[in-house]
A and B are shown apart, each in its own frame.
Chain A
Amino acid sequence: EPEVTQTPSHQVTQMGQEVILRCVPISNHLYFYWYRQILGQKVEFLVSFYNNEISEKSEIFDDQFSVERPDGSNFTLKIRSTKLEDSAMYFCASMEGQGYTEAFFGQGTRLTVV
């Protein structure tokens, strides 16, 4: 069964460092998403991506964040200068169609900023 894969499963980084979280969406899906969940809080939408550009982003997704689909298979989230409050589980998801089909989520990357 096709699945969304994320690497690494856990990343520890020092405050101020750049991190790249990687995702391989399901191959025939067209819409890609990043979400995060800070420990004990609700799932938060970060950004959606379609046709090689951002289609929607939340207030959380400020200038320190960027997304890229560098090679047609990977979908990456870059955090330029990590802060302590960026510590969270980051989930990637992909959808075949926008909103009217289910999202498939990866297992998540736990980012710990120290």
Chain B
Amino acid sequence: ILNVEQSPQSLHVQEGDSTNFTCSFPSSNFYALHWYRWETAKSPEALFVMTLNGDEKKKGRISATLNTKEGYSYLYIKGSQPEDSATYLCAFIANAGKSTFGDGTTLTVKP
């Protein structure tokens, strides 16, 4: 059983705060690491697909880094807005398409 852990479990911030979450995964048999954003009553939406150690990806105010040797990825949100409120999931892709999701970090941004 692959262990993919996300922390913190939940986060409450004020509008304008910057925040970050962590995804920890096995450092062996790495193939890819995905970040998804999941709003209530919707399906998960991909944010980033990360494949190389040292990858840094950015989409607007959201960015992510990847360290495959030590087995972690950080997701950063700069200047959080209420519309950023969602659950952020990471998924560790090993081989043959098997993916293991973390439990997610639920972000609530208060106006």
Partner-B contacts on A (CB < 8 A):
31, 33, 35, 42-45, 48, 50, 55-56, 58, 91, 95, 98-108
23 contacts between A and B (CB under 8 A): A33-B99, A42-B103, A44-B101, A45-B98, A45-B99, A48-B99, A50-B97, A55-B96, A56-B97, A58-B98, A91-B44, A98-B31, A99-B32, A99-B51, A100-B32, A102-B46, A102-B49, A103-B34, A103-B44, A103-B46, A104-B46, A105-B43, A107-B43
Bound form: Cα–Cα A103–B37 in Å? 12
**A42, B93: Cβ atoms under 8 Å?**
no
B81, CB-defined interface residue at 8 Å: no
Q: Is A55 touching B97 in the complex (CB atoms < 8 A)?
A: yes
Task: Give the one of B32, B34, B97, B103 with max A CB within 10 A.
Answer: B97
Q: In angstroms, how far is the closest chain A Cβ from the Cβ of B52? A: 10
Interface SS of chain A? strand
| Contact surface of B with A, Cβ cutoff 8 Å | 31-32, 34, 36, 42-46, 49, 51, 89, 91, 93, 96-104
A101 to B42, CA, bound (A): 20
Q: List chain A residues, Cβ under 8 A from B104.
A: 42-43
Verify B97–A31 contact, CB threshold 8 A: yes
Task: Tell me the complex Cα distance, A44–B101, Å.
Answer: 7
List 3 A-B pairs, minimum CB-CB distance, nearest first.
A102-B46, A48-B97, A99-B93
Could you tell me if B44 and A99 are in contact, using CB atoms closer than 8 angstroms? no
Cβ distance B111 to chain A, nearest Cβ, rounded Å: 27
